[in-house]
Amino acid sequence: MKKKAITDKLSDKNMLDDLQALLNEELAKPLEERDLDAIEKITNAMVDINDEEIPQPVPAEKVLAEAAARKKRHRIVLLRKWAAVLSACFALCIGLNFYTLRTYGSNVFEAMINMARSGFSIDTSQLRDIDPAAPVAASTTATTAGIYTTTTTVAATQVSGMFTTTVPGTYATAVTATNVPASTTTVPVPAGDSPMANMLSRCDEEAVGMAEEMLTKAETVGIYPCYPTQLPTDFGSMTCTDFHNEKLKDSNDCYFTFENSASKIDITVEEYYSEELLPNVLVPSDDDSYDIFRGKEISGFIMGDSRKCTAVFVYGNTVYTLHGSGVNYNELEVIAEGFVPYPSEFIKK
């Protein structure tokens, strides 16, 4: 035995191996079930057998200082991380903004808002850039000059072939609305060389009544709108069942409703006081699809189905929206394509 003890130089390692096995047994247990006292004894023995001395505890102040320094560094690192993230976001926004401006003509926030809503929006200022099928006559230009200063709302009466007089003034910001009794009879085509007769001479038989009602009623509130020159068969029986006018802060608006027993067409005319005020038109649609129609002198968008459809076009600073119920897509397209501008030479300055 004596000889064995003297020559066994690795016996320390054997002891360490045994202790390591014991430690592994404890560590194999879940943390909560470990015998920490046993672990302490085993590990202390390991230190002892290796002839090491356990160091003195580090002063609390030193540990505290290190912890405080780390917290500070952590805050700086966090700040840098946030700065990097914010910079990346900013760059992304700039990039997105650039993209949406080029693609959709609106900044990223407007584009997001538009996308979040159902349907889609149409930048009406872009509508003006669509070329019509036929060149615009030189005499028909945007109905802008002198018509924005009207504030007096004149109750319209049914006047055939005549212009009513509007009183120039300044804008009123408050909304004023005028309801006009709807005509129930078909207006005869005026004769002679009057402006009205001249304008109605461009209309087919079906469209004369609607055109005259629109022109007459709109003029009473200082609007010189585009008017229809063609209607599908059987639409000539449509009569104006509602008309009213609203003068808003940015625009002077007219609302017409024409209907017969089978169909109804709502026409909205929004005359904006300047090009910059032209809004986007939000079109709620289940399928975001639309077509471009090219009329005689105006062009625009048309969308819808066999039961309901909507056409939108812009002339000058005026946005026209035609909404048909019981009017199919092709019928509304015929109506929209037939709109022509109010001749500029007849506009009362």
Partner 1 sequence: MIEPEHCTLIIERYYREIFSYCYAKLGYSYHSAEDCTQEVFVVFFQKHEKLEDTDNIRLWLYRTADNVIKTFLRKSPPAVSLEESAEAMNIADSGGFDDTDESLLDILGPDERKLLELYYDSDYGQRNEAAKRLGLSLPALYRKIHKIKKKLRAAGKRSADAIMDKE
**Please, which residue, 49 or 292, has the CB nearer to partner 1?**
49
Q: Select the span of 31-39, 291-299, 303-311, 325-333 touching partner 1 (CB under 8 A).
A: 31-39
Task: Kindly state the smallest distance separating residue 16's Cβ from partner 1, in Å.
Answer: 6
**Please, which residue, 53 or 286, has the CB nearer to partner 1?**
53
Angle at 197 between CA 193 and CA 226, to 5 degrees: 130
Q: Which of 25, 29, 48, 177 binds partner 1 (CB under 8 A)?
A: 48
Residues 6+ apart with CB under 8 A from 127: 299, 300, 301, 312, 313, 314, 319
**CA atoms of 136 and 145, how far apart (whole Å):** 18
Burial label, 94 (beta-carbon count in 10 A; 0-12, 13-18, 19+): exposed
Q: By CB under 8 A, is residue 44 in contact with partner 1?
A: yes
Q: Which of 28, 30, 55, 135 binds partner 1 (CB under 8 A)?
A: 55
**CA atoms of 230 and 10, how far apart (whole Å):** 111
Q: By CB under 8 A, is residue 28 in contact with partner 1?
A: no
Q: Select the span of 9-17, 113-121, 142-150, 247-255 touching partner 1 (CB under 8 A).
A: 9-17
Residues 6+ apart with CB under 8 A from 247: 151, 153, 171, 172, 174, 175, 176, 221, 253
Angle at 246 between CA 310 and CA 206, to 5 degrees: 45
Q: Which of 31, 138, 174, 191 binds partner 1 (CB under 8 A)?
A: 31
Q: Which of 51, 129, 131, 286 binds partner 1 (CB under 8 A)?
A: 51
DSSP three-state, residue 235: helix
Task: Kindly state the smallest distance separating residue 15's Cβ from partner 1, in Å.
Answer: 5
Site map 59..78 versus partner 1, x via CB under 8 A: -x--xx-xx--xx-------
Phi, psi of 296 (to 5 degrees): -60, -50
Residues within window 250-279 making contact with partner 1, judged by CB under 8 A: none
**CA atoms of 314 and 89, how far apart (whole Å):** 37
Q: Are 133 and 156 a contacting pair, CB within 8 Å?
A: no
Spatial CA neighbour of 232 closest among 337, 323, 75, 89: 337
Q: Which of 25, 29, 41, 205 binds partner 1 (CB under 8 A)?
A: 41
DSSP three-state, residue 126: helix
**CA atoms of 203 and 183, how far apart (whole Å):** 19
**Please, which residue, 2 or 102, has the CB nearer to partner 1?**
2
Q: Which of 28, 36, 174, 191 binds partner 1 (CB under 8 A)?
A: 36
Q: Select the span of 5-13, 156-164, 300-308, 339-347 touching partner 1 (CB under 8 A).
A: 5-13
DSSP three-state, residue 146: coil
Q: By CB under 8 A, is residue 25 in contact with partner 1?
A: no
Q: Which of 28, 54, 116, 174 binds partner 1 (CB under 8 A)?
A: 54
**CA end-to-end span of the chain, whole Å?**
130
Report residue 106 as tokens: 């609106």
Per DSSP, 180 falls in state E
**Please, which residue, 46 or 282, has the CB nearer to partner 1?**
46
Task: Kindly state the smallest distance separating residue 79's Cβ from partner 1, in Å.
Answer: 18
Q: By CB under 8 A, is residue 33 in contact with partner 1?
A: no
Q: Select the span of 40-48, 144-152, 290-298, 335-343 touching partner 1 (CB under 8 A).
A: 40-48
Task: Kindly state the smallest distance separating residue 47's Cβ from partner 1, in Å.
Answer: 5
Rule CB under 8 A: which residues touch partner 1?
1-13, 15-23, 31-32, 34, 36, 38-52, 54-58, 60, 63-64, 66-67, 70-71
